[in-house]
Amino acid sequence: MRSFGVVIVIIALAIPAYWFAQLAPNRDAEALFSQYLGVTALVAMGLSQLLATRMAVLEPIFGGLDRIYVLHKWLGVGAIVAILLHDTIDADMEALGRQTGLMEFAETLGEISLYGILILGVLTIATWVPYQFWRLTHKFMGAFFVLSALHFIFIGKPFDLGDPLAVYVLAICAVGTLSYLYTLVPFGVLQGRAAYEVASVDKTGDTVAISLKPLRGGISHRAGQFAFVSFVVPGKSEVHPFTISAAPNADKTIRFTAKALGDYTRSLGELAVGMRARVSRAYGHFQSSKRGSCDVWIGAGIGITPFLAWSGRRDLVPRPTHLFYCVQSKSNAVGLDELEAAAAADPNLTLHVVDSTVSGRLTADQISDAIGGVGKGVNAHFCGPTPMRKALKDGLVAKGMRRSAFHYEEFEIRSDLGLRKFSGWLIARGVRRFSKTASS
């Protein structure tokens, strides 16, 4: 994630503190702090909605889309924590006068948005919830954000809507609302306008490679990028991201390689030549290194897909490169013939197939022995499961590789981020709050 983007987010979250500090004299400090938490939650949610748009302008600021999604989720988690604290700490100020019916309505909107965001937040970090159900319910997150914005507008507060603080928060809310509406536009209207048709469908074990040829101009991409695709076929129109597993070519034919991990990906093998598809622009900043004495590429299972694209470009192998392909069974290794051909044609590329049923899981020691030692001139690029990534990174760094020389993309756009305990706390907190409201 790029530091510049993180700094922008931090500044955006910190700006309200300046105006709240000016309101502090002669105000109830506890209530003022509660209102500050509510405003901070609104800003975080507004920024989170903006990041969810996948607009092209965001990647140069924040980095690859995988990092943007991580920031999107952390902003959401931070907003939930701030909302819960805001709800727990009394925000009422006697100096604001008698509560009106409009203010009571605003409180009701706040309660509805609290429970809605709480439930959807738990569904987001609870990765055991089916993807299709999560994706459907997650669309309502923006609606609860809008209710939170209305709560802010109508609730009693120690400043006017024309004051700089309110104008700033309302501007963020407007950006967030417009971003939410943008995400509701059907795929194929603003995104996914590139029309393709299926050129071939090749199955290898539980993996399917789908080649698509453009019906018009097609998309441009760099080796290792991914795109969102929707097939214009009943039951397969759901939008999913897949790595483009073939190097760029003149006719702009692209290939997606997917492993059967759920009902949707299992059904991709039923696609037939001639079926239509819509494809988004290409995303991602997973690129080969430009410096160093040796490159190490590590693809675990379906994580081999970006390296299938890289191996098809001789210009991406300018120095000795070792590709470690980790598989559970060599007979089901997708693209193995293609990789062997690329290694045979390029003296800089050495392929190592690591069959876990024969030699166990890949270790940093095995990599070091294969490349003749790990030093500061070695760059590593990894695509695979998170636990494996962490183990190999720690092992290679311990052997002398620079930590910054280990490159990767998030293998799963949706993850619990280590927040299973937190989700339990959220559920318990929501139940207590609901019980309190029901009994009052």
Question: pLDDT tens, 373-397?
Answer: 998 999 999 999 889 999 999 999 9
AA letter at 242: F
Establish if 375 belongs to a structural domain: yes
Identify the pLDDT of residue 135: 82
Same domain, yes or no: 158 and 9: yes
CATH number for the domain spanning 160: value is 1.20.120
- Do 219 and 173 lie in one domain? The reply is no
286 within some domain = no
Of the residues 279, 302, 318, which one is the last residue of a structural domain? 279
CB atoms within 10 A of CB 34: 21
Phi/psi of residue 9, nearest 5 degrees = -65, -45
Q: Which range marks the domain in which residue 138 is found?
A: 3-186+416-439
- Average of pLDDT values for 12-32? 92
Q: How confident is the model at residue 54 (pLDDT cuts 50, 70, 90)?
A: very high
Which has the closest alpha carbon to 288: 383, 384, 223, 372?
223
- CB within 8 A of 129, min separation 6: which ones? 123
163 and 84 share a domain?
yes
Number of domains in the chain: 3
SS3 content of the chain, % helix, strand, coil (to 5): 50, 15, 30
What b/e sequence results for 297-326 when a residue is b if at least 16 CB atoms lie within 10 Å of its CB, and e otherwise?
Answer: bbbbbbbbbbbbbbbbbeebbeebbbbbbb
* 137 and 201 housed in the same domain: no
The C-alpha atoms of residue 326 and residue 354 are separated, in whole angstroms, by: 5
Per the domain annotation, does 69 fall within a domain? yes
Domain shared by 211 and 137, yes or no? no
pTM of this prediction? 0.84
In this structure, the answer to whether residues 374 and 421 fall within a common structural domain is no
Instruction: Write down which residue in 279, 311, 328 finishes a domain.
Output: 279
In a domain, 240, yes or no: yes
Residue 284 in any domain: the answer is no
Position 429 scores a pLDDT of: 60
The CATH number for 231's domain is 2.40.30.10
The residues that bridge with 300 in the sheet, in sequence order, are 326
Distance CA 50, CA 181 (A): 10
User: Rg (Cα) of the chain, in Å, rounded?
Assistant: 25
Mark whether 149 and 33 lie in a shared domain.
yes
